[in-house]
Structure 1
Amino acid sequence: MIPEDRLLKPWTLIRVFYLRIGATWALTLCETALIALVPLFIGFAIDGLLTGQTTALFQLAGVMAALIVVSVIRRIYDTRVFGTVRVEVGRTQATRASAQPVSILNARLGMGRELVDFLEVEVPLVMTALVQIIISVIVLYAFDATLALAAGCAVGIMFAIYGLFHKRFFRLNGVFNGQTERQVSILEARNAPRLLTHLLRLRRMEVRISDAESALYGSVFAVLLGLVVFNLWYATTHVAVTPGTIFAIVSYSWEFVEAAVTFPMALQSWSRLSEIIQRLNTSVA
């Protein structure tokens, strides 16, 4: 049960359900570490098979078998844990906001689920991305420091780009959520022109948010794909490598890209969630 004197925030949910959420995140980190090791062991297996050795191939099979077991257990456990958290958040909202109009309460119940979704989806994605980035940088540095330096520069540019979008995401999501809170009262009025106006406003805000997302992701992808091209060029022209090493460098460069692009997505979700947290706690702050 969530204490009455606690605001509805991610940290509050973590403190109340720390054992269950901690267990899911531990499984996530274990799964991520195994995923991050796969390209490296594939590279070892390639080099081993080219020389007639199968030891690295069996090691790769062992890593992948462990990955399957951990990932299945995590997914089964996650659903049950965060389902319970959603129930408690909804019950707390209904108790605290019993005097609010139904339209607002209905909308905020959906927003409360987004609070839990952030812990279930976004936070593990960020944790996964951090592990993948750290392992990718270590592996790239082991081949050549320039490869790791290029990756670090790409992350710095990516965060700078996101900084230009944060306030816009917060403002647009605030307008969207405010319009959503009016939906039930608009439906109760059974006024077709008013309903059409409401739906058109929602569409207009969704388009604006989508346009901002597209501009952000396009800019970030351009930077990160430039990293892959640079590392491939540098590895083939400045580093003495084997076919397996080339595969590992390209794989970890691309894995770095996949992990790094998670941060703008998570930060955008945090921009939206920040506005939701402020809205959910308006009546109890």
Structure 2
Amino acid sequence: MLNDGPLTVRALLRAFRWRIALTWMLILFEVALTALVPLFIGFAIDGLLASDTQALFQLIAVLAVLIVVSVIRRAYDTRVFGTVRVEMGKTQAARAANLPVSTLNARLGMGRELADFLEADLPLAMTSLVQLIISVIVLYTFDPVLALAGASAVATMLAIYSLSHGRFYRLNGQLNQQTERQVGILETRKPQSLSTHLTRLRRIEVRISDTESIVYGAIFVVLLGLVVFNLWYATANLTITSGTIFSIVTYSWELVDAALAFPMALQGWSRLSEIMKRINHAVPSDLSKPQADQ
């Protein structure tokens, strides 16, 4: 099903466009319903306080539809992306018949990450974008200042991540190169070589984790500041009901939750960019040359 071109995310989207389009449509419908739930909860609170149950039944209807769509979408996802992984593996094996087994084994695992990105990371970014848009629109209807605060927080978050993109790409390249050596090292049956290999993997993984911790810590501080500011501004400057307060706080937190998904997707793309370059390169890297610790 895949043509003779490079194995990339775009190639997979082209080969499986209709199947993937359907699952993404279900995802967007699901996230749109999910994003509306806090608003309907706020309406239900105000309605029940006024002894009106109409909004409550509307909330129940939305939740019922959400459950049905979620179940159908998850069952369909598994089948679609399972097929993508099978075709990806078959194509890689056919094109890389002359590669050492160690390299081919590692790259088959890396190739599956393209399907993982399409199944998890990219839909996460899409759903987060929908949540962000809905959250900003709803906050704007309450007060433009609330929406402006949310947009400013997201812009700051993206700026923080952009500073770490190069480091994520470089560290993932080191991790993938070391992984390609693994089968060859195991075949030597030398405990010292295996210990050195595993130690290098651990050291690179620690560097990636430390970078993630710093980036996500900085982003989380910005986004929590948004929630605190919006809560303070709403209670100090607006005349609103209990249900509206709930909706403002909830949508501010929804914006935080959605915004945090973007760095995850961007980090996944950083790793995937290195993987696509690697698996489309017919000649393996010099696996016999020890990788210097950094």
Pairwise TM-score range, normalised by the shorter structure: over 0.9
Equivalent position amino acid for 1:232 in 2: L
Residue number in structure 2 paired with 1:202: 201
Separation in 2 of the partners of 1:216 and 1:267?
12
Residue number in structure 2 paired with 1:108: 107
Deviation at 1:119, TM superposition (A): 0.2
Deviation at 1:145, TM superposition (A): 0.1
Residue number in structure 1 paired with 2:119: 120
Q: Give the 4+ runs in structure 1 shifted more than 4 A.
A: none
Alignment of 1:1-285 (within 5 A): 1-4=1-4, 6-283=5-282
Separation in 2 of the partners of 1:9 and 1:229?
42
Equivalent position amino acid for 2:107 in 1: R
What percent identity do the matched residue pairs reach?
67
Deviation per residue, 1:113-158 (Å, 9 max, x gap):
1110000000110111011000000000000000000000001100
Equivalent position amino acid for 2:226 in 1: L
Separation in 2 of the partners of 1:163 and 1:85?
30
Separation in 2 of the partners of 1:84 and 1:238?
54
Equivalent position amino acid for 1:3 in 2: N
Deviation per residue, 1:160-185 (Å, 9 max, x gap):
10011000000000001000000000
Separation in 1 of the partners of 2:9 and 2:219?
27
Equivalent position amino acid for 2:242 in 1: P
Equivalent position amino acid for 2:212 in 1: E
* RMSD over aligned Cα atoms: 0.7
Structure 2: runs of 5 or more not aligned: 284-294
Separation in 1 of the partners of 2:134 and 2:119?
23
Separation in 1 of the partners of 2:68 and 2:74?
10
Deviation at 1:101, TM superposition (A): 0.2
SS at match of 2:2: coil
Deviation at 1:80, TM superposition (A): 0.1
Separation in 1 of the partners of 2:59 and 2:257?
22
Deviation at 1:21, TM superposition (A): 0.3
Separation in 2 of the partners of 1:127 and 1:61?
26
SS at match of 1:261: helix
Deviation at 1:283, TM superposition (A): 1.6
TM-score normalised to structure 2 length: 0.96
Deviation at 1:261, TM superposition (A): 0.5
Separation in 1 of the partners of 2:231 and 2:46?
19
Separation in 2 of the partners of 1:278 and 1:10?
12
Separation in 2 of the partners of 1:187 and 1:163?
38
Deviation at 1:44, TM superposition (A): 0.0
Separation in 2 of the partners of 1:75 and 1:130?
20
Deviation per residue, 1:50-73 (Å, 9 max, x gap):
000000000000000000000000
Structure 1: runs of 5 or more not aligned: none
Deviation at 1:259, TM superposition (A): 0.2
Residue number in structure 1 paired with 2:290: none
Residue number in structure 1 paired with 2:291: none
Deviation at 1:250, TM superposition (A): 0.2
Separation in 1 of the partners of 2:13 and 2:175?
27
